[in-house]
Structures are given as C-alpha cells and as structure tokens.
Amino acid sequence: MSTRNRRTFIKSLAIAGAGASALGFTAPSWVPDRRTADKLGIALVGLGYYSSQLLAPALQETSHSYLAGIVTGTPEKAENWKAKYNIPAKNVYNYENFDEIAANPDIDIIYVVLPNSMHAEYTIRSAKAGKHVICEKPMASNAEECRAMIAACNEAGVQLSIGYRMQYEPTTQELIRIGAERDFGGVRMVTAAAGYREGRPDTWKLKKAMAGGAMMDMGVYSLQAARYATGEEPVSVSAQSFTSRPELYSEVDETTTFQLTFPSGAIANLQTSHRMGMNTLDVRYQNGWARLEPFQAYRGIQGVSSRGSLDYPVVNQQATQMDEDALSIMEGTAVRVPGEEGLKDMIVVDAIYASVAQGGSTITL
C-alpha cells in the first residue's frame, strides 16, 4: 500500500469508526465535488513577508495544492505576483471585490495571512464565499472571534485549519508521540521560550487594535508547545508582562512570562518576547527529558532526549501543512489543526491578558 493509499485508508477508518467522533468529525458535508482533482487551488489573502517569502515558495513544492489566486490591495504587488507565479487575472482580487471569489471555481481554499485583527472577518467572509479556510496563527483577537469563525465555517460546510506549522513537523510529532505514549512517563514541567527582536516602529504588531504584541505573535508557540507536549488543556494560568521600550510597546506586550497548570499536575513556565530572539523547548518527564532547539523555526528543528537524538528529516513545513490540509479536504477528513485548536489557545491568551491586567492573579480556566 503506498503512503498515500495507506493514509487514505487510515482516514477512511477514522471516518467509519469510533475515531471520527473523537476528532469532532460528524457530517462530511464539505467533501468537495472536485474530489477527483489532483490539486486544490489556494488563494493567499495578504501578500506580506510570510506569503511572499514562505507560502508562495512552498506552493512551488506542493503536490496536492497550488497557488491559484491572490488577494491584495496593492496593484503593483498584483502585477508582480501574476507574472512571477503565472496567476490568471481572473484569480486576482482586491479588498473591494473580495467576496466575488465565491464564484471562482479555481479557488478551493483561502489562506488568510492578514494582520491578526483581520483574521476573523476574512475567515468568515471566506466561509460565506463557500471556500475552505486556512487562517494564520494566532487564530483571532480573542476567543469570542474564534467561536464566530468556527460557527461560520460549520454553517457554510467548509473546513477551517489554523496555520500552526509545528504539528506537521516530524521532530515535533515525535515529541508529541513521546508524551502521548508516555515513553518517559508523565510530563512534569514544560519550559519554552519563543521570541525575536522586533525593531520596526511602524509595524501593526505594535497596535492593540490589530491584536499585536509578543504574546499574540510568538507566545502562542510557547503555549502550543506546552499543550502538545502534555497533550492536556491547562486548568489555570498566571502571567506577567514587561516592557523595556515603552516608546514602542505602549499598547501591547513586549515580553510576557506565563505559568500554566494541567490536570495531571504538569506545570509550564513559558515566555515570549519581541525584545530578543529565543527558541527553546524543554520537557521534563517523570523519567527523562526532551529538548528542542530551535522548536519553532521555519526550518531545522533539532531535538535531543534522555534517550538520544530526536532529529528527523527537515521538511518544508508550509508545503507539508498545505498539502496535508488539501488532502484532508479532498478526502473529507478533519484537518490536523482545526479551528477548535486555535480557540483553545485563544481561551488561554484571553486569560493571560486578564491575569496581567489583574497584577498576575491566577485565572482558573
């Protein structure tokens, strides 16, 4: 059985059997008509750094998805992308005619790569246009928006995937497996640090109204890591924020530390920052440990455990994610990181902001 066939077979089992409900999967109403299509067409909304430097190049390596269209407010960008990626004019939209995308059969999936505050609106409009959605992390500005996004996608019968990359990355998958299968017993403590030096005075990431700040931007990686390393949902959170550049970080957090507790008794001590680079994940188990550094880079995740190296082949995370999502959509199975996953993070992020506002109080989730 080929990898593709085995995968389809396993997914079919999941749909048919008890696994389906565990996945939150019920009615495959969104199985597309074009199931026989080899590739699904993806339209990128927002042509900033991540689209131009990561997603578009990744879409040159994908097998089950391709760059079918773009949405941009900048005519020059539209011209450049049309030429560079051979995109027909009819698949190029701007923010005025965006909703007309509903009538375009070339576009199966809309990938929302806009500033955080715009994720909810464009995800919901994409769903209403009948398109499946991949939405960049963080999923939205808050949990309430996430719930509206999930409801809109359910109502439209389209899938919603959140653009966390790490769950598609082999070394990270091995870390998740180690926790799930208790290779070293239960998780005792997770420590993670995710950050980079943000120095642009004009970026939307400094704006509260755009859902900027380090926690939203990079902190979700530390949070995700604690959740996928433990396989549990936190039951309490406390958080503290710090600012060294108040002239830039007057509206949003520059550095945030936060602590989580989990039902098993596992603890996470996490941090994120726009002040400096940091990219480490340490998991301490009952009888061992694992360390990934970097744990959330675009390439080259490296790991070691108390049993030895955790290095796996380097994959193009973005290509792997888009291909796997496209396959799930074609095959009518749940995507790996659905909207519910983004919502779970955002519930914690809301509590982190509440704790900081309350001077570090512990919030019960």
Q: How far is the CB of 301 from a copy of itself (least distance, A)?
A: 18
Q: How far is the CB of 193 from a copy of itself (least distance, A)?
A: 7
Q: How far is the CB of 365 from a copy of itself (least distance, A)?
A: 15
Q: How far is the CB of 231 from a copy of itself (least distance, A)?
A: 17
Residue 76 makes CB contacts below 8 A (sequence gap 6+) with: none
Q: How far is the CB of 282 from a copy of itself (least distance, A)?
A: 7
Please report where in the chains the tokens 């091995």 appear, as a residue: 174
Taking the least distance from each CB to a copy of itself, the nearer of 24 and 265 is 265
Q: How far is the CB of 235 from a copy of itself (least distance, A)?
A: 12
State the DSSP string of 279-340.
EEEEEEETTEEEEESSSS-SS---EEETTEE-------HHHHHHHHHHHHHHHT---SSBHH
On the CB side of 137, CA atoms within 13 Å amount to: 29
| DSSP percent split of the chain into helix, strand, coil, nearest 5 | 40, 20, 40
Closest CA to 9 of 331, 354, 350: 331
The binding site for a copy of itself (CB under 8 A) comprises 188-189, 191, 193, 238, 240, 242, 244, 255, 257, 259, 261, 265, 267, 269, 271, 273, 275-278, 280, 282, 284, 286, 355, 359-362
Taking the least distance from each CB to a copy of itself, the nearer of 122 and 221 is 221
**Burial of 265 from C-beta contacts in 10 A (0-12 / 13-18 / 19+):** exposed
Taking the least distance from each CB to a copy of itself, the nearer of 47 and 351 is 351
Please report where in the chains the tokens 């299968």 appear, as a residue: 181
Taking the least distance from each CB to a copy of itself, the nearer of 128 and 188 is 188
Taking the least distance from each CB to a copy of itself, the nearer of 66 and 184 is 184
**Burial of 48 from C-beta contacts in 10 A (0-12 / 13-18 / 19+):** middle
Taking the least distance from each CB to a copy of itself, the nearer of 81 and 249 is 249
* Residue 343 near residue 335, CB atoms below 8 Å: no
